[in-house]
Chains A and B, each alone.
Chain A
């Protein structure tokens, strides 16, 4: 493995930030503003794509921007783990920015410029987190994501919006200040550096003779510090953040924000602590059991929700923990399963949210009980929704199956029947809360006032802006189930090292 020093990788983080600035300046001209957003997204994706061959060849890219103190710097480093997250997030941003046009104009939302600026900067900061080469840089971008998604959550500026946003920022800022900051300082005191060891996931950066109690303390602080990952009991902000406009819930609260959380946890586990130390102290397995609770309980709560977005939110809480579970089991198979779920969950969940938003804009329906017969009026949307649901449940050939396959292999490698049961039970629960929605839409009775309405709801131009992206993401979530090689190869590079 070679480390190539190049300032080019700064571009990927800069493009969304510059996009945000341009959007702010062109705020008055709506069409220009919205196309700039999309162009920025395409350029961001292109820039990540341009680095892909180098990463696939087994090399890493690195660049140090600022040195604050010896061992503490703003440093970017692109490795297979980072490139997976960056690819997924930047690609979905393209579709989401198209979807936004339909949604925001369809509902005639206010303060659209502020919305687009914060949206772009948040994605940029997520890119930064994916590219970060040390814990400080990760923390920096993690916090920028928190601050810039805050206005998005309270976008509607009503009582509910303020309350949700308040909860959001309190959870995220409190945990990062109270847990993450001391964790970072402790790691710096013990290791003398905050740079990730991205060359070898077994080693980490801790010296061999580090006090085990300190290691455990630092680990626990990190685990709870990244509250964006939605691990219980620090998951409560996520359902309340669903007051945000749906494009925010879709891209940010299914892909960017929460994935920054699980990505950060995975990153810290693999590149700061390393699998050796986690195995030796038993922290890996402890984490696996701990997140199992989240997986099961969040699924049970999801069963009780009748609002579609709320159900999706709890489903997200549950699914995010699969990723942590996979990494925490610390076997090559389970890590593969966990990390590939970053992509699988992203594509499937964004489809589900897009569909929920599309249904809301087209028909004004939020509650599952009102959605009877919707499959006939919005066939494309509901088919995509159904496919994505299969992905969440883990039915082949959709992407989610690959995840569960590898996770199950991981539990068998460990001969751990408890975790295997957790996986199987949770799959049943997933089916329990997704299948009724699909059944209702296609076979359920419409509400009395909708009786006899058969006209398509998907034909208006603005709705098309929403349907096309969600059909694409739905299709891709099947595609990466059939052909997962791209991501598997990247993860292999990581696991083999």
Chain B
């Protein structure tokens, strides 16, 4: 196992602490009384977790592709099942993203969530553990437990604190993601039967036959494609986003969607490299369709949250596009794009939450002409909208540029088509910005000159709590936008290793490749016959 792992050298078990602190926080929260106490308690817990995670950044060894900060405990020796957690260049940034976004989720719910704060705190903290768990598990069973563990808290967040159609949205979310993860479980079990191990690095090293790879690739890819979400599995996302409370939207956008991309990089690519190459055209096409359909649908929305939700489909299309280009720039760009989307779209949802608290409407028309009343808010809206449309100098540009570079380098036509997505992004974000900041041509600008209380609400500008959240994310917009090198360096070794795994695994001779794909079709044929 030493081939894959570097045991934790810090004098405390950092990853286990990240997993356990939110759980303890949740348990304590159950016994606390008073909303204010619980609010501060959950903020403190998330901040402590974020603080604990910082050594992952400072002590990370960029020179190696091995898993770091590893903790290994025997768990179920009879099944060769261990508790093993660790991070590499692919997961470490996502763990940091999770721990840094969670305090913001608490902050943006401060006044937004009005009922059942205790339950909200418990659910949010459990959610944090589950999300970190997904990124740090090096064991498929552990991975699956955390993966499923996220479902229930997220379901509850939407179903209890959601909007008008919360029942519909939460059930839809649950069914879609659960259906996807069942297939994931099947492939986990199948791989165990084949290899006798749940240990992810060993599964990556194992050379499965081509037909087996095809099946596990399809099973996993379905689960991840739903989570991403890729067209045509994206329909749960707008519903969930629109109905979720602001913290739910932020968690969904910033972290949950990243799990699909992470899953592709952790499971599909290294474990089924030949199948990956086999399915590249399909996934590239699906990515392009996601980019264009997402952008096109976003252009027609009148609900701000829906607009951002569809824009997420487009952005995630860029992520899968980058991943399945299978070159250095593409994968790095995709990973950077995941971080960027977490920062930017998270901020946009926080912004929507802020305005929703004031006007109680998510319609663009009801929230127009804000420039006159909320200059600070509008400044942040401008920054994050520009970031979302990949304005040069902001974070998304670097990710998009790398993906486009990877695309034009390998398949110029794919690159040319994806440019359309970039154009659409500019169109819908500028439209949103123009309408929210200035325009009142829709005739709905009810707040006109009476600056406030007559309309039943006041358009006061951001308060300190809101300002802090947005300013914090703004730092990342420009930092990643102008100096992404530290992030790219952290990914470097792991991405190189990943590409090497794909190359090594794809040396199956053409003849076998051909023959087996026929065998595969025959297998499928018999299977369907048996079914009837």
List residues of A whose CB falls within 8 A of some B CB.
65-69, 72, 74, 136, 139-140, 143-144, 147, 154, 157, 159, 162, 166, 169-170, 173-174, 177-178, 181-182, 185-186, 188-189
In the assembled complex, the CB of B427 is this many whole angstroms from the nearest CB of chain A, namely: 8
Chain B interface helix/strand/loop/mixed:
helix
The answer for the CA separation of A109 and B404 in the assembled complex, in Å, is: 44
B56: Cβ under 8 A from any A Cβ = no
> 5 smallest A-B Cβ distances: which pairs?
A140-B392, A66-B482, A185-B404, A177-B423, A185-B408
In the assembled complex, the CB of B416 is this many whole angstroms from the nearest CB of chain A, namely: 7
In the assembled complex, the CB of B187 is this many whole angstroms from the nearest CB of chain A, namely: 36
A139 & B404 in contact (Cβ 8 Å cutoff): no
Task: Pick from A159, A177, A178: contact of B441, CB below 8 A.
Answer: A159
The answer for the CA separation of A186 and B405 in the assembled complex, in Å, is: 8
With A68-B484, A162-B441: A182-B426 Cβ-Cβ less than 8 Å: no
Q: Which residues of B are found within 8 Å of A74, using beta-carbon distances?
A: 393, 482
B151: Cβ under 8 A from any A Cβ = no
Question: How many residues of B are counted as interface, with CB atoms below 8 angstroms from the partner's CB atoms?
Answer: 31
B439 & A72 in contact (Cβ 8 Å cutoff): no
B430: Cβ under 8 A from any A Cβ = yes
Chain A interface helix/strand/loop/mixed:
helix
B386: Cβ under 8 A from any A Cβ = yes
Nearest chain A residue, comparing its CB with the CB of B437: A151
Q: Which residues of A are found within 8 Å of B439, using beta-carbon distances?
A: 162
The answer for the CA separation of A6 and B430 in the assembled complex, in Å, is: 37
The answer for the CA separation of A72 and B400 in the assembled complex, in Å, is: 13
Nearest chain B residue, comparing its CB with the CB of A140: B392
With A140-B392, A174-B423: A72-B482 Cβ-Cβ less than 8 Å: no
B164: Cβ under 8 A from any A Cβ = no
In the assembled complex, the CB of A1 is this many whole angstroms from the nearest CB of chain B, namely: 29
B419 & A162 in contact (Cβ 8 Å cutoff): no
A177 & B393 in contact (Cβ 8 Å cutoff): no
Q: Which residues of B are found within 8 Å of A178, using beta-carbon distances?
A: 419-420, 422-423
The answer for the CA separation of A170 and B430 in the assembled complex, in Å, is: 9
B408 & A166 in contact (Cβ 8 Å cutoff): no
Q: Which residues of B are found within 8 Å of A159, using beta-carbon distances?
A: 441
> Which of B402, B423, B439 lies at the interface centre, i.e. has the most chain A CB atoms within 10 A of its CB?
B423
Nearest chain B residue, comparing its CB with the CB of A188: B405
In the assembled complex, the CB of B481 is this many whole angstroms from the nearest CB of chain A, namely: 8
B401: Cβ under 8 A from any A Cβ = yes
With A157-B438, A159-B441, A174-B423: A68-B398 Cβ-Cβ less than 8 Å: yes
The answer for the CA separation of A170 and B405 in the assembled complex, in Å, is: 25
B408 & A174 in contact (Cβ 8 Å cutoff): no
B391: Cβ under 8 A from any A Cβ = yes
In the assembled complex, the CB of B489 is this many whole angstroms from the nearest CB of chain A, namely: 11
B483: Cβ under 8 A from any A Cβ = yes
In the assembled complex, the CB of B425 is this many whole angstroms from the nearest CB of chain A, namely: 8
The answer for the CA separation of A74 and B441 in the assembled complex, in Å, is: 39
Task: Pick from B401, B420, B423: contact of A185, CB below 8 A.
Answer: B401
B441 & A174 in contact (Cβ 8 Å cutoff): no
B485 & A189 in contact (Cβ 8 Å cutoff): no
B488: Cβ under 8 A from any A Cβ = yes
> Which of B393, B404, B439, B483 lies at the interface centre, i.e. has the most chain A CB atoms within 10 A of its CB?
B393
With A74-B482, A140-B392, A159-B441: A185-B422 Cβ-Cβ less than 8 Å: no
In the assembled complex, the CB of A121 is this many whole angstroms from the nearest CB of chain B, namely: 12
The answer for the CA separation of A418 and B470 in the assembled complex, in Å, is: 59
Nearest chain A residue, comparing its CB with the CB of B400: A181
Q: Which residues of B are found within 8 Å of A67, using beta-carbon distances?
A: 483, 485
Nearest chain B residue, comparing its CB with the CB of A186: B408
Q: A181-B419, A182-B404 are in contact. List 11 more A-B contacts (CB 8 A).
A: A67-B485, A68-B401, A69-B488, A72-B401, A74-B393, A140-B393, A162-B439, A177-B423, A178-B423, A182-B419, A185-B415
A174 & B404 in contact (Cβ 8 Å cutoff): no
B434: Cβ under 8 A from any A Cβ = yes
With A66-B482, A182-B404, A189-B409: A169-B416 Cβ-Cβ less than 8 Å: no
23 CB contacts below 8 A, A to B, read A65-B482, A67-B483, A69-B398, A69-B402, A69-B484, A72-B401, A140-B392, A159-B441, A162-B441, A166-B434, A169-B434, A173-B426, A177-B419, A177-B422, A177-B425, A177-B426, A178-B419, A178-B423, A185-B401, A185-B404, A186-B412, A188-B405, A189-B405
Nearest chain A residue, comparing its CB with the CB of B434: A166
Q: Which residues of A are found within 8 Å of B416, using beta-carbon distances?
A: 182
The answer for the CA separation of A72 and B393 in the assembled complex, in Å, is: 12
Nearest chain A residue, comparing its CB with the CB of B425: A177
Q: Which residues of B are found within 8 Å of A173, using beta-carbon distances?
A: 426-427, 430
Proximity string of chain B (409-444) to chain A, C-beta cutoff 8 Å, 1 when within and 0 when not: 100100110011011011100100010001101000
The answer for the CA separation of A162 and B368 in the assembled complex, in Å, is: 14
B residues 264-313 in Cβ contact with A at 8 Å: none
In the assembled complex, the CB of A31 is this many whole angstroms from the nearest CB of chain B, namely: 22
Q: Which residues of A are found within 8 Å of B409, using beta-carbon distances?
A: 189
In the assembled complex, the CB of A173 is this many whole angstroms from the nearest CB of chain B, namely: 5
Task: Pick from A65, A157, A174: contact of B426, CB below 8 A.
Answer: A174
Q: Which residues of B are found within 8 Å of A154, using beta-carbon distances?
A: 438
Q: Which residues of B are found within 8 Å of A65, using beta-carbon distances?
A: 482
In the assembled complex, the CB of B372 is this many whole angstroms from the nearest CB of chain A, namely: 9
In the assembled complex, the CB of B339 is this many whole angstroms from the nearest CB of chain A, namely: 15
Q: Which residues of A are found within 8 Å of B415, using beta-carbon distances?
A: 182, 185
The answer for the CA separation of A182 and B482 in the assembled complex, in Å, is: 20
The answer for the CA separation of A136 and B481 in the assembled complex, in Å, is: 12
B483 & A66 in contact (Cβ 8 Å cutoff): yes
Nearest chain B residue, comparing its CB with the CB of A182: B419
The answer for the CA separation of A246 and B298 in the assembled complex, in Å, is: 36
Q: Which residues of A are found within 8 Å of B423, using beta-carbon distances?
A: 174, 177-178
A169 & B430 in contact (Cβ 8 Å cutoff): yes
Q: Which residues of A are found within 8 Å of B482, using beta-carbon distances?
A: 65-66, 68, 74
In the assembled complex, the CB of A139 is this many whole angstroms from the nearest CB of chain B, namely: 6
Q: Which residues of A are found within 8 Å of B405, using beta-carbon distances?
A: 185, 188-189
A189 & B408 in contact (Cβ 8 Å cutoff): yes
> Which of B386, B392, B483, B484 lies at the interface centre, i.e. has the most chain A CB atoms within 10 A of its CB?
B392
The answer for the CA separation of A422 and B106 in the assembled complex, in Å, is: 68
Nearest chain A residue, comparing its CB with the CB of B333: A69
In the assembled complex, the CB of B249 is this many whole angstroms from the nearest CB of chain A, namely: 27
Q: Which residues of B are found within 8 Å of A177, using beta-carbon distances?
A: 419, 422-423, 425-426
In the assembled complex, the CB of A469 is this many whole angstroms from the nearest CB of chain B, namely: 30
B438 & A143 in contact (Cβ 8 Å cutoff): no
The answer for the CA separation of A178 and B420 in the assembled complex, in Å, is: 7
The answer for the CA separation of A170 and B485 in the assembled complex, in Å, is: 33
> Which of A69, A162, A169 lies at the interface centre, i.e. has the most chain B CB atoms within 10 A of its CB?
A69
The answer for the CA separation of A185 and B401 in the assembled complex, in Å, is: 7
B residues 481-502 in Cβ contact with A at 8 Å: 482-485, 488
In the assembled complex, the CB of B85 is this many whole angstroms from the nearest CB of chain A, namely: 32
Q: Which residues of A are found within 8 Å of B422, using beta-carbon distances?
A: 177-178, 181
In the assembled complex, the CB of A327 is this many whole angstroms from the nearest CB of chain B, namely: 25
Nearest chain B residue, comparing its CB with the CB of A217: B412
The answer for the CA separation of A65 and B393 in the assembled complex, in Å, is: 12
The answer for the CA separation of A173 and B26 in the assembled complex, in Å, is: 48
The answer for the CA separation of A166 and B430 in the assembled complex, in Å, is: 9
Q: Which residues of B are found within 8 Å of A147, using beta-carbon distances?
A: 386, 391
> Which of A74, A147, A189 lies at the interface centre, i.e. has the most chain B CB atoms within 10 A of its CB?
A189
Q: Which residues of A are found within 8 Å of B427, using beta-carbon distances?
A: 170, 173-174
B441 & A139 in contact (Cβ 8 Å cutoff): no
B391 & A162 in contact (Cβ 8 Å cutoff): no
In the assembled complex, the CB of B246 is this many whole angstroms from the nearest CB of chain A, namely: 27
The answer for the CA separation of A436 and B173 in the assembled complex, in Å, is: 71
Nearest chain B residue, comparing its CB with the CB of A72: B401
In the assembled complex, the CB of B138 is this many whole angstroms from the nearest CB of chain A, namely: 30
The answer for the CA separation of A140 and B422 in the assembled complex, in Å, is: 16
B residues 422-476 in Cβ contact with A at 8 Å: 422-423, 425-427, 430, 434, 438-439, 441
A143 & B441 in contact (Cβ 8 Å cutoff): no
Q: Which residues of B are found within 8 Å of A162, using beta-carbon distances?
A: 438-439, 441
The answer for the CA separation of A178 and B416 in the assembled complex, in Å, is: 9
Q: Which residues of A are found within 8 Å of B401, using beta-carbon distances?
A: 68-69, 72, 185
